[in-house]
Structure 1
Amino acid sequence: MANAQQARRVVITDKNARAFVEKILVANGVPSENALIVADCLVQADLRGVDSHGINRIPSYMARIRNGVLSASASPLVKQVTPAVVQIDGQNSFGFLGAKIGMEKCIEMASTFGIGMASVKGSNHFGMSAWIVQQAVDAGMMSLVFTNSSPALPVWGGKEKLIGVSPIACGAPAGDMPFILDMAPSVAARGKIYKAKRRGEKIPLDWALDAQGRPTDDPAAALEGVMLPMGGPKGSALAIMMDVFSGVFSGAAFAGHVTNPYDPSKPADVGHFLVAIKPDLFMSMKEFEDRMQYLYKRVTESEKAQGVEQIFFPGEIEQRVRRERLQSGIPYAEAEIEALNDEALKVGVSPLPT
């Protein structure tokens, strides 16, 4: 059954996917300029192959809007704290908005002062962290992008869900192949388990435990249990670090009090922490880029272990997938298309063109 469902895919162009999502958002009360940002960020995730954070998130977002726990019409408020620091109140708007504005401000401040920092509270899920890193890379900046999230991991030695699977992301410009790291402190991102559940697929046994603490390949059982941190206590400590910088520091929810994006019962109050840094603070930009290029070559041309065909730089695989999907389209599971079309039907938007 899982293999049959996995084989059924519908290919959509990024242009059609973006326009379709924009229409659903606007029909649900999102201002058009904000809808464009949200739709583009979701489609960028699908283009990079991060399908767990793409337009399939729309049904859960719309459920939160309908239940009044995510503000469709709100826009973030910006407060200048110091010349190089801003605080952003997301006003319970989409996380994409606060993150985008925050990084824009960081880039602007870093252009003048060498570094810019933004703290965001009162926010929501902002999808794939790599799109914010890419925003900085496109401006020629290095960056750090942190966020916290709802409980999914036990702390090392514990058994209850307490800390979020909060991604660690950072990047640096490097010509055609920038360094972009976007990773969860768990063995796998929780969004991948939700994706497997939607698609009727199994998950690897080392991703999560069920409610009884047993390894499971059933995504539904995994979601009732706990995710497993990568590297044991190291992954647990990294997840706590995300909560310190994104939650404690910002004034947002923390210590297990962030609401799951699939839970439409109350606001999420997610926190983010963003930093942009000028790469040429200590050397010329050309020297920095040359050094990054040397690092890329050393990494990708290093001696391969047995059975390895190619070594990739962080973010390189996603860049390749993006180029391919821009040409051939984005593959979605039929169940995902049906769920999106159900959302379209609720607000009188035409089905997704295939």
Structure 2
Amino acid sequence: MAGVVLDGEDLSSFVAEIFVKHGMRADYAATLAEVLVWADLRGIDSHGVERVPRYLDLVARGDIDLKGEPQMQAVADALFLIDGGNQFGAVPMGLAMREAVTRARRSGIALGTIRRFGHSGALGFYAQWIARQGMAAIVMGSGMPLMAYHGAKAASLSTSPLAIAVPGGPSGVTMLDMASSIIANGRLRLAQRNNEQIPPGMALDAQGEPTTDPAKAVIPLPVGGPKGAGLALMFECLTSVLAGAPVLTAMLGPGKKTWHTQSQTVIAIDVAKFRPVEEFVSDIDLLDTVIHALPRLDPDEPIRIPGERAEKEAAQRAQSGIPLSDRLRRQLVEIAEKAGVTPPPAML
């Protein structure tokens, strides 16, 4: 079998059941599966169900506690802190996005820092959800050293992602979702598994030398050199350090602790406090229209708004299904069999 195509809801239910069988609360498992399938629908396969085998490895290693319960602490009217309890990030981040919107409704703006949790998936999921509530959203993240600091030969920064979203635009939300690295770490791992050549200037090997060999490329480089490195460093300051759980100093400094952990900061801004949301949306729609109408450098290449390609892909995959490689299909079927879960018929 060359691969399969699965309905998004079927895939989400299947993945959720796998994590329930491993001891996760059903509602938490459903949230985790929703975040992963959201990425797959948008063609961000490196952050979709491709992560399931890796996630279960982290559980087996003891880095993730599937029974962990996030704890929230109110810092001020518009500020809050969530300790993720070493749970997968989708759980505390789901709590954070809802809390941010609730507090922003009262105060006009809300900021929350979230610490001590595992991989949270694509940050765009959380930013888009906040924007669909009529809010502007900024979500930034940090974590273990994976990317080289500009000028360094070793993994010394997280690939620190950033998602910014506002209501309005062709799909209802205009959103930028990016990593601070030229190539996301998940995309690098996917290229390795699929034996895809890495373009020059994107990654280093374990010795800190430039490489295009997918089997050797292990350290992504920052986008824009010192600019991407600077962003990633400041995201560490505004997430892990602000939350009282520094990551990079613990992993790079004396002792060099090693564990899987992340921190993030979520900001929600209530547009309605500034102006009617409908007027804001209308202006965003107009801005997107103006950008689309710009003269093209290449007549054959369309000008796209941030997130536009992914939303078109989501609409298409919602109709046609989510494609899985045969390699991933076999991995998931094996995991399901060990857990006592019946895969969707299309996977067998």
TM-score by length of 2: 0.93
Q: 153, 157, 177: which one pairs with 1:182?
A: 177
Partner residue of 1:209?
204
SS in 1 for 2:216: helix
C-alpha change, 1:287 and 1:258, in structure 2 (3 Å) is farther
Q: Does structure 2 conserve the Cα–Cα contact (< 8 Å) formed by 1:341 and 1:352?
A: no
Q: 229, 234, 243: which one pairs with 1:241?
A: 234
Partners of 1:212 and 1:34 in 2: CA distance: 40
Deviation, structure 1 residue 304: 0.7
Matched length = 341
Q: 335, 343, 348: which one pairs with 1:351?
A: 343
Gaps of 5+ in 2: none
C-alpha change, 1:196 and 1:256, in structure 2 (3 Å) is farther
SS in 1 for 2:146: strand
Partners of 2:12 and 2:243 in 1: CA distance: 31
Partner residue of 2:78?
84
Partners of 1:321 and 1:8 in 2: CA distance: 21
Partners of 2:73 and 2:251 in 1: CA distance: 23
Partner residue of 2:309?
317
Partners of 2:180 and 2:299 in 1: CA distance: 27
SS in 2 for 1:221: coil
Deviates more, 1:282-291 or 1:249-258: 249-258
Deviation, structure 1 residue 340: 1.3
Matched residue type, 1:277: I
Partners of 1:159 and 1:214 in 2: CA distance: 7
Partners of 2:278 and 2:213 in 1: CA distance: 50
Deviates more, 1:214-223 or 1:22-31: 214-223
Deviation, structure 1 residue 30: 0.3
Check if 1:339 corresponds to 2:331.
yes
C-alpha change, 1:202 and 1:327, in structure 2 (3 Å) is same
Matched residue type, 1:21: V
Partners of 2:264 and 2:211 in 1: CA distance: 31
Gaps of 5+ in 1: 1-6, 260-264
Q: Does structure 2 conserve the Cα–Cα contact (< 8 Å) formed by 1:199 and 1:333?
A: no
Check if 1:56 corresponds to 2:50.
yes
Deviates more, 1:59-68 or 1:133-142: 59-68
- Deviations along 1:63-108, one digit per CA (max 9) or x if unpaired, are 2222322111112111111111111010111101111100100000
Q: Does structure 1 conserve the Cα–Cα contact (< 8 Å) formed by 2:113 and 2:243?
A: yes
Deviation, structure 1 residue 238: 0.9
Partners of 2:222 and 2:243 in 1: CA distance: 24
Partners of 1:64 and 1:189 in 2: CA distance: 19
C-alpha change, 1:214 and 1:268, in structure 2 (3 Å) is closer
Check if 1:275 corresponds to 2:270.
no
Partner residue of 2:215?
220
Matched residue type, 2:282: D
- Deviations along 1:274-319, one digit per CA (max 9) or x if unpaired, are 0110113322222211211121011111111134431110001000
Partners of 2:82 and 2:208 in 1: CA distance: 39
Deviates more, 1:285-294 or 1:330-339: 285-294
Deviation, structure 1 residue 321: 0.2
**Matches for 1:1-354 after TM superposition, within 5 Å:** 8-177=2-171, 178-223=173-218, 226-255=219-248, 257=250, 267-354=259-346
Matched residue type, 2:36: L
SS in 2 for 1:81: strand
Deviation, structure 1 residue 144: 0.6
SS in 1 for 2:217: helix
C-alpha change, 1:234 and 1:266, in structure 2 (3 Å) is closer
Partners of 1:185 and 1:154 in 2: CA distance: 11
Matched residue type, 1:295: L
Matched residue type, 1:52: S
SS in 2 for 1:220: coil
Q: CA RMSD in A?
A: 1.8
Matched residue type, 2:29: A
- Deviations along 1:35-63, one digit per CA (max 9) or x if unpaired, are 11001110000001100000111111112
SS in 1 for 2:73: strand
Partners of 1:303 and 1:16 in 2: CA distance: 43
Partners of 1:351 and 1:256 in 2: CA distance: 43
Identity %: 33
Deviation, structure 1 residue 186: 1.2
Matched residue type, 2:8: D
Matched residue type, 1:99: M
Q: Does structure 2 conserve the Cα–Cα contact (< 8 Å) formed by 1:95 and 1:126?
A: yes
Partners of 1:154 and 1:199 in 2: CA distance: 23
